[in-house]
Copies of this chain bind each other. A is one copy, B any other.
Amino acid sequence: MLKPGATIGILGGGQLGRMLSVAASRMGLKCHIYEPGAGAPAGHVAERVFTAPYEDEACLRAFAAGVDVITYEFENIPTSALDLLESLRPIRPGRRALAISQDRILEKSFLNEIGLTTAPWAQVDDAATLEAALAQIGAPSILKTTRLGYDGKGQARIMSEADAPEALAAMGGAAAVLEGFVNFSAEISVIAARGLDGAVACYDPGENVHKSGILHTTTVPARISPNLRSDAVLIAARILNALDYVGVLGVELFVTPEGLIVNEIAPRVHNSGHWTQAGCAVDQFEQHIRAIAGWPLGDGGRYADVEMLNLIGDDVDRVPEFAKAKNTQIHLYGKADAKPGRKMGHVNRVL
């Protein structure tokens, strides 16, 4: 159990790192941020920021030397940086979870291997494998790069076979995976945590609505049956245990007539868990810090109904309105420019 005064290193300086650092402060812990980009939002609320590329070995070493444990707020960190850091300090969650979540094919294979259902999928490397995949899965379906995709980027819909060449071109030569469309009535997500001692705790599943491929709202409780609620929690626990995971993990699930289908997993705190800041004594950020710091997991029991609304791009202009609203908690990320599609903040409304 890391003692007050210990320091956590966070790879990535965006809003998730920012909120992790704030949560760490509640445990009496300090945070150092490693972020290639200047003006990292997490740097405003951290003891120290290292601004350097992931290829800067000397800076990586200096960063590691000042911290007791390393975690990350996004999964696309170069392997060489992780190899170096791992030789110096523990990285939590571990490398396997990272490797799996960096590659859609590894992820889907892993999920299927542990008995979980995913959308039908097939690997696509070129026109021939795409044709074979389409023959197997059919259209409509969706072609995605296996790596570096998020928030709807690196994806192309295939409504009929005629769309295949354009979709393949959109992958830019990268390895891809064809996923069958899933006929789902809702998307939910479970934010789950596993401690260093192997204890597992899950937050109440939230119901997600996306807009233009980006999460728009998460509402708790999700409108699902008690059966599905426990299925969702059991799925998350199976993933955590199979990965010998330490930290918080987000699991996105589709609700279908045949039960729950795993959409994807994220080995980190997750946008769909931001509601926990308003509805739980211990939020997802603190739960993650507790896990990686060897603390007992906290009580994430929900004591309020909450709707989380993302502020994307110029949604942030609505802040003066939200600032006056009842039971409304604003979280801005300290980003300078409200570019289209950029996550500028979120709002938790206690219902």
> A: which residues have CB within 8 A of B?
1, 4-5, 18, 21-22, 25-31, 43-47, 278, 281-282, 290, 295-296, 298-299, 301, 303-304, 316, 320, 323-336, 345, 348-350
Q: Is the CB of B281 within 8 A of A348?
A: yes
Tell me, rounded to whole Å, the shortest Cβ–Cβ distance linking A91 to chain B.
22
Q: Is the CB of A298 within 8 A of B328?
A: yes
Q: Is the CB of B281 within 8 A of A298?
A: no
Q: Look across to chain B and name the residue whose beta carbon is closest to the beta carbon of A338.
A: B4
**With A25-B45, A281-B278, A290-B323 given, is the CB distance from A4 to B334 under 8 Å?**
yes
Report Cα–Cα, A28/B322, bound state, in Å: 14
Please give, as numbers and ranges, the residues of chain B lying within 8 Å of A21 by CB-CB distance.
Answer: 45
**With A26-B331, A332-B28 given, is the CB distance from A296 to B320 under 8 Å?**
yes
Q: Is the CB of A1 within 8 A of B320?
A: yes
A-B contact pairs, 10 of them (CB 8 A): A4-B336, A5-B336, A22-B22, A25-B45, A25-B334, A44-B47, A281-B329, A282-B329, A299-B328, A301-B327
* Contact partner, A328, options B27, B31, B281, B325, Cβ 8 Å: B281
Q: Is the CB of B327 within 8 A of A303?
A: yes
Please give, as numbers and ranges, the residues of chain B lying within 8 Å of A4 by CB-CB distance.
Answer: 316, 332, 334-336
**With A27-B330, A44-B47 given, is the CB distance from A299 to B281 under 8 Å?**
no
Report Cα–Cα, A290/B336, bound state, in Å: 19
Copies, count: 2
Q: Look across to chain B and name the residue whose beta carbon is closest to the beta carbon of A25.
A: B45
Known: A4-B332, A28-B334. 4 other contacts (CB 8 A): A28-B332, A30-B44, A290-B323, A299-B327
Please give, as numbers and ranges, the residues of chain B lying within 8 Å of A327 by CB-CB distance.
Answer: 281, 299, 301, 303
Please give, as numbers and ranges, the residues of chain B lying within 8 Å of A303 by CB-CB distance.
Answer: 304, 327, 350
Please give, as numbers and ranges, the residues of chain B lying within 8 Å of A29 by CB-CB distance.
Answer: 334
Please give, as numbers and ranges, the residues of chain B lying within 8 Å of A1 by CB-CB distance.
Answer: 320
Tell me, rounded to whole Å, the shortest Cβ–Cβ distance linking A17 to chain B.
12
Q: Look across to chain B and name the residue whose beta carbon is closest to the beta carbon of A336.
A: B5
Q: Look across to chain B and name the residue whose beta carbon is closest to the beta carbon of A29.
A: B334
Q: Look across to chain B and name the residue whose beta carbon is closest to the beta carbon of A278.
A: B281
Report Cα–Cα, A203/B36, bound state, in Å: 42
Q: Is the CB of A25 within 8 A of B22?
A: yes
**With A25-B334, A27-B330 given, is the CB distance from A296 to B323 under 8 Å?**
yes
Report Cα–Cα, A320/B27, bound state, in Å: 11
Please give, as numbers and ranges, the residues of chain B lying within 8 Å of A46 by CB-CB distance.
Answer: 44-45
Q: Look across to chain B and name the residue whose beta carbon is closest to the beta carbon of A47.
A: B44
Report Cα–Cα, A345/B5, bound state, in Å: 13
Q: Is the CB of B304 within 8 A of A325?
A: no
Q: Is the CB of A332 within 8 A of B282?
A: no
Q: Is the CB of A296 within 8 A of B324?
A: yes
Q: Is the CB of A28 within 8 A of B345?
A: yes
Tell me, rounded to whole Å, the shortest Cβ–Cβ distance linking A8 to chain B.
11
Please give, as numbers and ranges, the residues of chain B lying within 8 Å of A22 by CB-CB distance.
Answer: 22, 25, 45
Q: Is the CB of A18 within 8 A of B25?
A: yes
